[in-house]
Amino acid sequence: MKDKVRRGGGRNQAKNDAVSLTVGKDAVGIKQDEDTSFAVKIQGAGVESFELQVHGFWLVQDAVITLLSKDEVYPRSNLSLALAGTTLDPLAELQSLKGLKPGAILRLVEEPYTARSARLHLARVLELLRASGPQDALREGRSPSILETLTQTQTPDSSLPNGKNLKRSLSNTKTELANQGGALPEYLLPGSLERPLMALLPHSSQPESHQVPSYLRDLSLSCWNPPPGHRKLQGDFLYITVVTMEGRRCDITSCPKGFFLNRSTEEVFDPRPAQSSPVCHCFTDLLCHISPAFKQTFTTLKNRHQLPPVEIMPTPYHTLSWLGPPCASRTHKNTFSRLGVDEQPATQAPDWNEELQAARDLPQGSLEERLQRDRALLQVNSGFVRAVMQGAETVIDGFVEPVNGNPEDPAFLWGGLFMSQCAASAVFGGERGRRAVQRLELKGVQAYSDLEGLQGLHTLPTAIVDYKGVRLSAQGLAPGLEGSEQDQETPSASRGLLYGINAGPQESPHRRRLLELLAHSAKALCLQRNVVVGPNSRQIPLFTSVDAKGLLGADGRFYILDVFRTFPADANFCPEVETERETVTGEEKKESCEEDEGNKGCVKEGWPENYHSDSGLPQSFPHRLCRLRPEMVQAFIQHKHTQFTQHVRETLDENGGFEECATACDSRATNAVRAACKEVGSVSDIIFEMRFSPSVFSSGVSLPDDESPSIKLQERLLREAAALIITHQIPAFVGYCLQSNEAPMDGASLKQALHQRGINLRYLGHVIKAINQSEHKESLRHILRTVIGDIFIRSTRRVFNSFLQGVDVPSLSAAVSHFLCCLLVPHFTPTPAGEESKKKSRRRGRGAGASESTPWSTLTWPELWNLVCQDAAETYNISDSLGSGPNHLVEHYGLQKLSLLREFCLKTGVQLRLRDYFLDNQSKAPIGPDDVLNIFPVVKHIHMPTVDASKAYRAARNFIEKGLLDQAHERLKEAAYLFGRVCDDLHPEASYCHSLLAKVAFLQGKAAEARSIQLKAVVISERVLGFDHPNTIQQYALLAAYVYAGGETTLAQKCLLRARLLMLTVHGEDHPYTATLDSCLGLMLTGDQAGQFLKNALRLNTSFFGPTDLHTALNQHLLAQWMCSQGDYRSAMSHEKEALTAFTSLFGEDHTQTRCSTEFLCTITKQAVRVERSLRQAGAESTDQAVECLSPTTETILEQMVLVTGIRKLAHSDRLQEYKQKHLELKAAVRKELANQMYRGEKSTDEETGCGKEVMDEGSPAVESNTESKQEQQPVEETSVESAAVVSANGHVVEPAENEEKTVDGGDSEHSDRAAEAMIVNGETESRAEAEESAPNGVKSSRANGEMKSDTTVDDMKLGSNEVNGAINGALDITASPSVLKSKGTWADVVVSKAIVANGPGDKVTAVNRVADVTANGSVEK
């Protein structure tokens, strides 16, 4: 609906472009917008005069697009602007117009309609009349935004100005407080097993027709439409019939001047204008003229609360909602659906390839040009993806005939798309291999599309779509092929083929240019030039995989096709290919084994010792297209670079050290580099350069014997890379999950976390093995549960795809419901199909109906379960992990059937009716045919980059790691503006950017700004990622903290309860993040409910992290605080003792945190004694007073929430005392060296801007310290002293102790013993996060004295918690954090001081907020 209108230029398109133009006024970082913006006055076209803020760099058409989305103008369209009586050129820049200055008057001019623009105008009117809401999104299968429904009050104030957008005021919460003191629903309390779906999405018991105000009784095309020929010649476009609320039937004519009332009736055709009927340019003006009731309701409509654009604009890509409306059949009728303006007119099919290539060829010289190019690419790709979805439904539903005669691989042409299934090849593994080809082709196209700076090499628009069990590959139509003069006599199929194994020998300028482009792309993709044996035993050199083809199209562009084997093979799953290679060169290998006496059993070079016996790899796989992910390739390159630098250092140390070798005029340094290159397998012997051959270990590829040394090297590298997944990447993933409370919650977040580490999903079985072998298996049960559930659903999806092939169209809903019942309900006995059909037929009066059973109805749950288990064993090498039925998954792993149902629907496109499902009912089917509302296509597509926005976002994250919050805030605002310009903020990375911006704003004390930004982040996450996506859950929790800071307690509780409800549905209660939500709820609620949530949070944290973890220690303290407020001091003492024990083991006895906890425990003890004495002497009155004194304040609760939710991270230190002692020993030496280096580098450092250039591998600690200090000293000094403090569990500064931490002592310091230290170990500075700053091939230069120690081994790369948190939560760990509160004391001080006051005089413990800190993130702070 809306997506269709958007392409035609309807209201959504206008709002799209308008927002992209107007959002710039909020971006402080873009100075151009500030300098060129000014206000002009708009008049004419029947609208009241108003002011419009414009920018000088806008085109006139940009200003028109902005005007069309304004409430004062909407729904008018087909307008132009005039200045001083002269109509302005739409393509002219505003700043180039003479006479246009601030305050100038621009008049709106009504332009004549065309047939198309008249239809678009009607579409804008209909979109205004339709009441859009979550139900509309659900009906179309899109994920809705629930935030508006959650935050609206019982009596919404329509007088709020529309311009506030998401900054709507919710301070009046008196109407919301009715439920605040009441009991929470049972299903939200800890321990509840009830999972109601009806609470997930808004619904109403009233029919939708009673909720939508009535404007017209009917609006449709007239029975006299289309106009006859003689009326077309007089300008009639359309005839429209309107039935007003008064019951009057009117026929309206659309013409170039607008709309007028004609004299036609149902019986008589009379197109002449009616008497006294005006010709109105806007359709709503005419409706107001003929219907007083419409005029009254339309005035109300114009004044209604307008949702912000981010909530109503269509998303670029379809985000599936697995739940649909509860009463879909009753709400299907649309009052205005018969006007016919939603359907696309029958025009020529778009040339998607030409549109995409034209967008890619747009200039990129300036920022504005790059933004326009990125936006054009996104719009073309999103339109292409929508066309693919429609085409898949049309093709698979049987409305298109194939264009070829091959029934095994039918090909279709529809809407400018070429769609096919790809032929199943035995070489690749049959049906599984065919699907792998389609998936890998998309990944290859993505890789070539992402190459920056490589102009001239093009790929076709590509997507794959799964619909009703069939996977189709969709591409834009390739242009005709250009052949050289020598090729004129060759068949047309081979003309234009300049590159490939079948291209043949040829020489031309076009071929040389193509080879040059392919050579550059191979370098960027780390591909090795390889030689294969082609037809007629001819050796062919290639820069790509053996299947790739290079073409010269008729449009003069070079295209590369068939890139599905671009990435190197995964040696863990290529035993057959290795066997084939051994058969060919068996004698040679035998001789090499005989020569190598030390090689026990002739173990192939590259595999670790005992690798096969420990891991069971290499092993076979259902298909032969197992390739390494690009993330794994980069991780392996980084791993080899670490080995390279270490080998060079060791060699130089053996030969006299780096300085001596560098100054001497001999070959020792060169020999060291050459030896290191040979050792790590570099393709060059003089520089570190890693490349991989895509032909090695590839099925059906013949390699020449004379390339044996190179092939052996490539085989060794690929074996090492494959082994690295098992030995490093999977253990690193398990280690991250063991420490993070934001670990994967569902299949989508699990897939994202694994892929970021380069781990393919076929390794899920090995992840299970690693968890089972871990000594912390019990603490990893939530990950094991998620992995088992994902394996189960993925195997089920493959069985479901085959199952659907035997189902006829009328039985689809019944077959899907039957499949789900057999899958989730053990011992399910369905009603015989014949008997069920007889009952329905009698009910409908259609006779007896068919009595024979269909093949799909004979499926039983044991048969289905066996198929799923067999697929899981073949794919993931797990034998009996799934057990004998769904109850085994529930009992042994804690999986929820509802979570499995959700995962199944999201992966298959099935949409279910919104109602509560009871999946343990064996006698009656819990899911019926009427519950299956639809099956939507699931599309995988190319992701278009947002280059400048992403760069600004990454730069902001680097600033945050260094503690430069002001610079980070500016860059984040710039990134948010750029995201708005390119994708209207409807992008996953835009959600992460807004979330991080809200965090930084909150830490700077801007709570209102953080609240406004976070509201937007929640909406983006709901609409782009999904209303129940794990990121959405975390965004709701962060929003709760920000709105609570503004005093909106009820709304904060709603957000937390919403997050907990989603968490229970997605994963269940047994997850570390549930402890985070329960801790926040325990802080906000009162009475016994607060205690329930705090105790549950403590139970979860203890079981996942242990009793001495910071999460657990903080929970102990919160529970002790709550028990103090309840008067239970004995239990409070017990919990605070546990917290004190944890703090002591973490920080030592002399640490501020430990002393604060000790003081608090002492206070509790004294208070308990006092209360006991008061009870004995005077009764219970003093007890009530004491409890009141120990109740935390709002500021205290807020600061505790900031810590619990991770807005301000807890600093962790295991070796504080050792580090402190080491610091005291090195401090004098560091100061002396720093002073010398500052003096020598004064001139060069004066040129630094302080923007935070990261340290590259400098070896000298003094040089590195100087560089860091000069770059960051000034920005830190400009911020408040408190802005760099890291608050620990009790609000005190936690001193650093991690080896990754590094800070420069800035000279004189009053607190020298607590000031930040430079982390220097044995005179060598550790450099972190090299993976983020490395070049594509991971090459790092070694400078200074070469004493660079890299700690970024693969198992410790920063693809760890920071990266996954950034991807899921949209933010890195923020450590540089000023207090949001006005008070400089911490929440521990508030509680302790109030308790001491109650007890009498005492010493108040103050926080050391003046001391900056360095956390485990390696932040550089003052």
Q: Which stretch of 218-222, 791-795, 826-830 has the lowest confidence by average pLDDT?
A: 826-830
Question: pLDDT tens digit string along 34-57?
Answer: 456 888 999 888 888 888 888 888
Question: pLDDT tens digit string along 1342-1356?
Answer: 333 333 333 433 344
What is the predicted pLDDT for the residue at 536? 83
Contact 404, 410 (CB under 8 A): yes
Q: Which stretch of 580-584, 836-840, 1127-1131 has the lowest confidence by average pLDDT?
A: 836-840
User: Residues of the chain with pLDDT > 90: what percent?
Assistant: 48
Contact 451, 521 (CB under 8 A): yes
What is the predicted pLDDT for the residue at 1217? 44
Closest CA to 954 of 1266, 1301, 1362: 1362
What is the predicted pLDDT for the residue at 549? 93
The whole-number average pLDDT for the span 254-266 is 93
Question: pLDDT tens digit string along 994-1015?
Answer: 999 999 999 999 999 999 999 9
What is the predicted pLDDT for the residue at 1396? 33
What is the predicted pLDDT for the residue at 1251? 38
What is the predicted pLDDT for the residue at 1399? 34
- pLDDT exceeds 80 at position 1209: no
- pLDDT exceeds 80 at position 1359: no
What is the predicted pLDDT for the residue at 1187? 43
Q: Is 350 left (phi over 0), alpha (psi -120 to 50) or beta?
A: beta
What is the predicted pLDDT for the residue at 1023? 94
Locate 1093 and state its tokens. Answer: 């949530």
Q: Which stretch of 81-95, 168-182, 575-589, 703-717 has the lowest confidence by average pLDDT?
A: 168-182
Q: Which amino acid is at 1303?
A: T
- pLDDT exceeds 60 at position 1319: no
What is the predicted pLDDT for the residue at 1193? 83
User: Residues of the chain with pLDDT > 70: what percent?
Assistant: 72
Question: pLDDT tens digit string along 1077-1095?
Answer: 999 999 999 888 999 999 9
Q: Which stretch of 665-674, 786-795, 967-976, 1359-1368 has the lowest confidence by average pLDDT?
A: 1359-1368
What is the predicted pLDDT for the residue at 662? 74
* pLDDT greater at residue 75 or residue 577: 75
The whole-number average pLDDT for the span 883-904 is 93
Q: Which stretch of 180-194, 303-317, 335-349, 860-874 has the lowest confidence by average pLDDT?
A: 335-349
- pLDDT exceeds 70 at position 1284: no
H runs (alpha helix) in 69-181: 115-129, 134-139, 147-151
- pLDDT exceeds 80 at position 947: yes
Contact 1055, 1036 (CB under 8 A): yes
The whole-number average pLDDT for the span 543-553 is 93
The whole-number average pLDDT for the span 722-750 is 95
Question: pLDDT tens digit string along 754-789?
Answer: 999 999 999 999 999 999 999 999 999 999 999 999
Contact 1113, 1146 (CB under 8 A): yes
What is the predicted pLDDT for the residue at 1208? 85
What is the predicted pLDDT for the residue at 129? 79
Band (pLDDT 50/70/90 cuts) for residue 1178 is low
pTM above 0.75, yes or no: yes
Select the highest-mean-pLDDT range: 46-60, 575-589, 683-697, 1393-1407: 683-697
Select the highest-mean-pLDDT range: 252-261, 1218-1227, 1269-1278: 252-261
* pLDDT greater at residue 348 or residue 1357: 348
Band (pLDDT 50/70/90 cuts) for residue 1224 is low
Contact 1078, 1089 (CB under 8 A): no
Tell me the C-alpha distance between 324 and 141, whole Å. Answer: 7
The whole-number average pLDDT for the span 178-183 is 52
- pLDDT exceeds 60 at position 461: yes
Cα–chain-centroid distance for residue 170? 29
- pLDDT exceeds 50 at position 652: yes
Helix (H) or strand (E) holding 707: none
Contact 715, 604 (CB under 8 A): yes
Question: pLDDT tens digit string along 151-161?
Answer: 774 333 333 33
CB atoms within 10 A of CB 410: 17
- pLDDT exceeds 60 at position 1020: yes
- pLDDT exceeds 50 at position 637: yes
Q: Which amino acid is at 584?
A: V
* pLDDT greater at residue 326 or residue 802: 802
The whole-number average pLDDT for the span 652-666 is 81
The whole-number average pLDDT for the span 716-723 is 96
Band (pLDDT 50/70/90 cuts) for residue 360 is very high
What is the predicted pLDDT for the residue at 187? 93
Locate 848 and state its tokens. Answer: 């007896």
Handedness of CA 19, 21, 23, 25 (dihedral sign): negative
The whole-number average pLDDT for the span 182-211 is 77
Band (pLDDT 50/70/90 cuts) for residue 1270 is very low
- pLDDT exceeds 50 at position 206: no
Question: pLDDT tens digit string along 77-112?
Answer: 999 999 988 899 988 888 888 888 888 999 999 999
- pLDDT exceeds 70 at position 304: no
User: CA gyration radius for the chain?
Assistant: 34
Q: Which stretch of 205-214, 514-523, 525-534, 1378-1387 has the lowest confidence by average pLDDT?
A: 1378-1387
Report which DSSP code applies to 1025.
Answer: I
Closest CA to 459 of 545, 565, 372, 551: 551
The whole-number average pLDDT for the span 405-413 is 85
- pLDDT exceeds 90 at position 1257: no
- pLDDT exceeds 70 at position 527: yes
Locate 1291 and state its tokens. Answer: 């609000």
Exposed, middle or buried by CB within 10 Å (0-12, 13-18, 19+), for 752?
middle
What is the predicted pLDDT for the residue at 170? 35
Q: Which amino acid is at 274?
A: A
What is the predicted pLDDT for the residue at 309? 79
Question: pLDDT tens digit string along 560-612?
Answer: 999 999 999 999 998 767 666 555 555 444 544 444 444 444 457 889 999 99
Contact 968, 492 (CB under 8 A): no
Length of the chain: 1422
What is the predicted pLDDT for the residue at 314? 86
What is the predicted pLDDT for the residue at 1179? 55
Select the highest-mean-pLDDT range: 166-175, 875-884, 1077-1086, 1206-1215: 1077-1086
- pLDDT exceeds 50 at position 33: no
Question: pLDDT tens digit string along 1021-1062?
Answer: 999 999 999 999 999 999 999 999 999 999 999 999 999 999
Per-chain mean pLDDT for the chain: 78
What is the predicted pLDDT for the residue at 1227? 65
N- to C-terminal Cα separation, the chain: 55
Select the highest-mean-pLDDT range: 130-134, 702-706, 1074-1078: 1074-1078
- pLDDT exceeds 70 at position 841: no
> DSSP letters along 352-407, please?
HHHHHHHHHTS--SSHHHHHHHHHHHHHHHHHHHHHHHHHHHHHHTT-S--SSS-S
